[in-house]
Structures are given as structure tokens and as C-alpha cells.
Structure 1
Amino acid sequence: MNPEILDGPAVARLLTPAGAVDALAEVLREGLDPEDCPPRTAVPVPAGELLLMPAASASWTGVKIAGVAPGNPALGLPRITGSYLLLHGPTLRPVAVIDGAALTALRTPAVSALAVRHLTAPGRPVRLVLFGSGPQAYGHLEAVLAVREVTEAVVVARNPERAARLVAHARDLGVPKARTGVPEDVADAELVVCCTTARTPLFDGGRVAPGATVVAVGSHEPDARETDSDLVRRAAVYVESRAAAAREAGDLLIPEAEGVVGPGHIAGNLAELVTGRADPPDPEAPRLFKSVGMAWEDLAVAVALHRAASGRET
């Protein structure tokens, strides 16, 4: 049989943000250990960077080949490109080819929302400050709304027109108050989400309130970060995987190199959060979830998409 082809519209139709969050939570509850996931391979190419992200379980194997082309937005093209190949685990028979950019746009916010589900109080509405105005900002807004009620959304972005469009989208999604803002607005937020291409801190971490949650997803490079050392020093820090963070999370590696924190500063990984094994955060400290993106996440969401396309629940 030829593998099924799932393009961007099919990905959006087949799986909601909430469904993607549940797919990730399910594989972690079933015992997947993010620490065992193969590392990402990055290959420099003339247009930017080629990323190879393989993962496997007993039932499924998959690999994402993603392109990161920094010059694409100026041409009206997506910055992230690529495809995902899903294979039947026991035979390695290809069963699906999935639009890689659409898969990334779905799974990255779902990872963040899963962390938000466990780091913020259930049933308590949040004021959100969202840094960025690209596809990941839209995806994160929708994913956060899938797990928490948002009473106010403040968009902080370099491009005023794009920021205004995202504000209008938030209003269309039913957020009572939505507006553009400035970095200092983090002082009044219960939730701060950073999904930008910034390489230096976006805001003063000392302004983040005790008990507030910050999610940073914009970089996977050791020399790039969206949050500052002061926030990392103050915060209870959670990651997808300690091993991946030690390779790629500049938000944590830079403060460590500065001597601000030690290598044991991480309070837990995502699997420990989901299964209740992570240490509970200090209520007087901010919480920081740093994501770099991992191949097991792509595989979990790709399998959920394949099952939805096949009309199967399991």
C-alpha cells in the first residue's frame, strides 16, 4: 500500500490542539522516557539548517526532516519546512507522509500546553503575555485556550501589524480582553509564553511574579535564549528532557556558564510532571518550562494523526 499523504489542511482538520496534548500525555503515562530519545542532528546548508529527528517505539518509527530557512519570511514563505515519514514499527513499512511544518506547528504548542496544564492551577483563569506573532504564537494561543481559561491576552511583538492581527484572532477565539503590549506587562501575568526567534532575553526576569509560569520554546541552540539568568535563578525549572536541555537549551546553559545556577537546577522533566514524580514547585517562585522540541513528540502526534485519518481510536 502507498503511504497516506497528510497535508497542512488535513493535519489541522484531523487533530485539535487538545487532542495533541492528550496524545503526548498518553505516551508519557504509558512509560515513554524522554531521556532515551535520540538526539536531533543539525546539518548546515546554504539556505539555513537541515534538522533530522528520528524516534521509535515498539509499534511505530518515524523521522522528521525539517528545514529552517531564516530568509523565507521575507519571501512570503514559512521559516520552517519539511516532511514527516511515519513507518510501521515491526516492518518499517511507510504508512504516512505528513506535512512537517504543520506537524511542528501542532506539536510544539501541545508540548507547552501539557506543561501549562501541570504548572498552573486548574480552574483558575490566567492573564497571558505572548511574545511573538508568527505561526507558533497562533498555535500557542489556541493550545493554551485548550487547557486554561484566558481572561486577558497581551501580545508583544516587533511588527505592530502582525501583533494587531493576533490580537484580533484572540478576540475571535473569545478572549474577553486582548491587546498589544510591552515587555513590562509580564509583571501582571500568570502565564508568559515566548515563541520568537530572539537570541537574547525578551524581558526582565525580575518582573515575573512568584507563582507565575513562563514557557520558552523559541530556540534550540546553546547560545540563544529568550529568558534571562535572573529568571532562571529564581525559578523552578522544568524541561522535556534533562539530556536534551544539556545539549541545546541556551536559556539554561548560558546561566550555568555564568555560574548563576548549577547543573542540578532542573526540578523535573515533562514525564515526571505528567506522572506526578516531579518535585512540586515552590509557590513563592516562578515556574519556567524550557522546550527545545524532541523527536518523540513528533512521533506521538504523527501516530495520533494517522489513527484519526484511518478512523481508528487505538
Structure 2
Amino acid sequence: MEIVSAQEVDALLDFPALIDALRKAFAGGVQAPVRHHHTIERKNGSDSTMLLMPAWSDFATSEVAGNGFAGVKIVSVSPDNNAIGLPAVMGVYLLSDGTTCAPLALIDGQKLTLWRTAAASALAAQYLAPDDAERLVMIGAGKLAPYLIRAHASVRPIKSVTLWNRSRDNAERLASELAGEDFEISVTDDRAAAIREADIVSSATITAEPLVEGTWLSASTHLDLVGAFTPALRESDDEAVRRSSLFVDTFEGALKEGGDLVQPLETGLIHRSDVVADLAMLCRGDHAGRIGPDEITLFKSTGASLEDFAAGCLVWQRMQQTTDQDA
């Protein structure tokens, strides 16, 4: 069994190939049950959560995974870790042969998650963001932010990126990291002004207080909401939801776990029928995505095991190609 480090994942993946792999996986050929949640109770401090996210090739229809694979991501969320200098979220991805279930690779789960989450947002943007989108606003400057920025820039002609973060120092550090990219990068303290001028607003935070207000959104804006992964968290306000055409990565996840939609559903602001399509419907052509030049689109992502599976398979296939070339 191969051990695949975070650095190797970065070296093996690129967004065009990963986005295409996700598109094929969402269109069909993968079985992906809803993830399992288990609470790990602690005598002292906050409880931890273990998530199990399985997926496997559907041999009857699969074209994305060759002879077939099976995989599972094991993720733990321990809120108290930050106080001792460790990430709150840790994980690994176990990829196995689809026929024998023999383990093939143990892949760094945190890095794989960054890649697949950003790729899913970019995949949605291909259907939902304006074709000529040039101005991207990134809300949040955590580890996911540079991946989201590069992913969106791989599918739209992004010329300028504006960063906003509660800590300006962290935003400045991210701007320095991205200084060599093919777009202008700047940091702002005026979140409202930046959002008003944006073609795409991507947000990846764990806020419970909405950071994106609907009155700030211009006609044709695409809103990509990646944070707020529990019902208690929320990145957008009611007006942003009310004004937008609503899309999700999966109905099962986003409508049960994503506070940006769970809360408006609970208050009656929106109804289940207002969420018009998920990524599978977009990728199969069951829904056209953006239908008008002045349409505001909102994509809510909470993550899915299908995405990790597609990314894990691509990592393994790239590893085999590298081995063959070196032979």
C-alpha cells in the first residue's frame, strides 16, 4: 500500500483534470452513501466528531474509475485542537481495489479535501457563473482560500481578486502567497464595496453571523458558499437567499447541514422546491444552470464522499502514470 503525502497530492493534481473527474463522477458511475456522523464524548473539553465517508465504483455504469475502486475518508473534528497548535480537522483517505478491496493507497485527507472542495465550487461555477466573470472576491483567508481562488481562475477569466478577512494580517499573507499568479490581488477592509463590484463571491468561513448581505449583490453575481457547514452557521443573510437561484452540491448534505439553506427553510423564507438543482443534475444536463444575464446564483457546498472518491482515484491514476513513465 502506498502512503501519499500532502506534498505528493499537490504535485499530482491540477484543477482542469480534477474538475473533469468530478463532472464524470457526478454524472454517474459512483455509489456514495450519506456520510456517517459519530460523536466522541470527552470528559474534559469539547466533544469530537468522527465522519466516515464511503464511496465505490458502480460497475454497471462507471467510466471514471477503470476496473473499479472503493474508498472511504475518515475525518475527525476536534474543536479544542487549535488551542494546542493542531488543526481542528484531520483525516485520511483509504483507496482500495474495487474487486478485491485490497488497500492501494492511504492519501493525506486534509490536502485531498482542499483540492476536491475547491474543484466542486469551480465545477458549479462552470454552470452558474457568468462566462465573462473577471472580478472575484474571496471572503476568508484560511487554508481553503488559495485553492478556491485558483480553482475559479481555472474556469473563468479572472483578472482581479480582492481578499477580505477578519484578520487583515492573514489576508495580507495570502495576498503575498498569490503574488505570482495571473491576476491582480488586493486586500480590502470594505467588504460591502468589494462584494458590490464582484462577478463571483466565494466564502469559506465558520461564521454564525452572515458576512454576505443580499443588498450588496449586483445582478449576475455568482455566490459560492463553502463554509458554514453546520445548521448553526451561516455566511449569507435572508436577502441573499431570497434574491438568488439556489443550487447545492448534494441535496442530502446541503439541506440538512448547511445553515445558509437550513435556516431559511426552517423559518419558511424558502421551500424545498426553491432549491432548483444539485451538481448531479447540472452534470447530467437535467438543468441548464444559469438561465439569464441578470440572474443571481447561489451555490451551497457541504462536501460529499463522491468528491473525495473522484479525487482519490485521480491521485492513484496519476501515480501509476508516473511509475510507468519512470519504468
User: TM over 0.5: same fold?
Assistant: yes
Residue in structure 2 matched with residue 293 of structure 1 by the alignment: 303
The runs of at least 4 consecutive aligned structure 1 residues that moved more than 6 Å come to none
- Which residue identity does 1:145 align to in structure 2? A
Whether the 8 Å contact between 1:132 and 1:194 is mirrored in structure 2 is yes
Map of 1:1-314 to 2, 5 A cutoff? 3-29=1-27, 31-32=28-29, 37-45=32-40, 46=42, 48-57=48-57, 58=59, 59-122=68-131, 124-184=132-192, 185-283=194-292, 284-311=294-321
- Which residue identity does 2:167 align to in structure 1? N
**SS of corresponding position for 1:39:** coil
State TM-score, norm by structure 1.
Answer: 0.92
Give RMSD over aligned pairs: 1.9
Percent identity, aligned pairs only? 32
Shift of 1:217: 1.0
Shift of 1:224: 1.7
Q: Which runs of 5+ in 1 are unaligned?
A: none
Give CA deviations for 1:275-306 in whole Å, capped at 9, x if unaligned: 32214435333100000000011001000000
Whether the 8 Å contact between 1:199 and 1:226 is mirrored in structure 2 is yes
Worse-superposed segment, 303-312 or 185-194: 303-312
Shift of 1:181: 3.5
State TM-score, norm by structure 2.
Answer: 0.88
Give CA deviations for 1:113-162 in whole Å, capped at 9, x if unaligned: 1111111233x242111111111111111111211222221111111111
Q: Taking structure 1 as reference, are residues 94 and 177 closer, same or farther at Cα in structure 2, changes over 3 Å only?
A: closer
Structure 1: how far apart are the matches of 2:262 and 2:115?
A: 27
Give CA deviations for 1:188-222 in whole Å, capped at 9, x if unaligned: 10000011111231121221112110011113212
- Which residue identity does 1:117 align to in structure 2? Q
Whether the 8 Å contact between 1:227 and 1:251 is mirrored in structure 2 is yes
Structure 2: how far apart are the matches of 1:253 and 1:81?
A: 26
Shift of 1:251: 0.9
